[in-house]
Structure 1
Amino acid sequence: MFVHRRDVQIQWGDCDPANIVFYPRYFEMFDDSTSVLFEAAGFSKQDIVKKYGLVGIPIVDTRAKFYIASTHGDWITMESRVESFKRSSFEVAHKVYKEKALAIEAFETRVLVRRHPDDPDRLKSAPIPQEMIAKFMRG
């Protein structure tokens, strides 16, 4: 499986008054990590939208388990991978490490969507291209 790792330093604006990361900020980081994961695999979001006629790749489900808090100035390592593919959806797993200890596990379900051919005001799921699946499934 293709895995992408990146180091992120926790900024002042990420933290709440108790100086720990305000949890919605992590979900922004996970979203960024998914974008970076796709770019590292050779699929920028802009290219995917143009090449496959998509509107986007929205999240339809997400959850996280928090084990260790991070504070302003900490460095964390975010590890992201696509865990599985279905017809038009895929599962992304994120693991966040703080000094080699697992701090967070997070999961996203995303769907490729395009405009509905009969009604451009509606969206319709789109099948995941085989070349995309192949790229993420090899290590």
Structure 2
Amino acid sequence: MRTVEYQFQINWGDTDAAGIVFYPNFYKWMDQASHHFFSVIGYPSSRLFVEEKIGLPLLEAQCKFYSPLFFDESVTIQTRIEEIKEKVFTLKHRFLREEQAVAEGYEIRAWAFLGGEKPKAHPIPEPIRQKMNDFKEFA
């Protein structure tokens, strides 16, 4: 199964006084990994917003923690598509410290037009859906 990898180093500001990552940062990093995913497949969020007024609003997120992360560790997030519906999709994220899985989470997002009075979900365009399917999890 193909994934997109997003790598980063944990900063001191991401941790508590003991140097352990504060849990909300996992949600911040899943958001960053999602936007990185779209950049890698050729549809950066910034371009979608500026050129087409498309946003990817978050509808739901969850994360399970298996092991703590610490200041100055290197982390890789593997991201893949779990499900694609007409206007909504699910991204699955796996956090790795070297080869060890330390957390897993998902985000459910909508494909939304932001140029109107209020955001409105729109069907995911076929060319983008095809690119996303390249990273779909097969059971």
Q: Same fold (TM over 0.5)?
A: yes
Q: Deviations over 1:84-118 (max 9, x none)?
A: 111111000000011211100010000011258xx
SS at 2:35's partner residue?
A: helix
Q: Which amino acid aligns with 1:72?
A: F
Q: Distance in 1 between matches of 2:132 and 2:56?
A: 16
Does residue 37 (structure 1) correspond to residue 37 (structure 2)? The answer is: yes
Q: How many residues matched? A: 135
Which 5+ residue runs of structure 1 have no aligned equivalent?
Answer: none
Rate the CA distance shift 1:10–1:53 in 2: closer, same or farther, 3 A: closer
Give the equivalent residue in structure 2 for 1:68: 67
C-alpha distance after superposition, 1:43-83 (max 9, x if no partner): 011222345442x1110000000001011011111111121
Contact 1:79/1:95, CA 8 A, preserved across alignment: yes
Structure 1 counterpart of 2:7: 7
1:19-34 superposed matches below 5 A: 19-34=19-34
* Aligned mates of 1:40, 1:51 — CA distance in 2: 18
Supply the distance in 1 between the matched residues of 2:31 and 2:8 (Cα, whole angstroms). Answer: 13
What residue ranges of structure 2 are gaps of 5+ in the alignment? Answer: none
Percent of residue pairs identical: 27
CA contact (8 A) 2:26 2:63 kept: no
- TM superposition shift of 1:42: 0.3
- 2:81–2:92 Cα contact (<8 Å) kept: yes
Q: Compute the TM-score of the two structures, normalised by the length of structure 1.
A: 0.89
120-129 or 42-51: bigger deviation: 42-51
Please list every run of at least 4 consecutive aligned residues from structure 1 whose deviation after the TM superposition is greater than 6 angstroms.
none
Cα 1:31/1:115, change in 2 over 3 Å:
closer
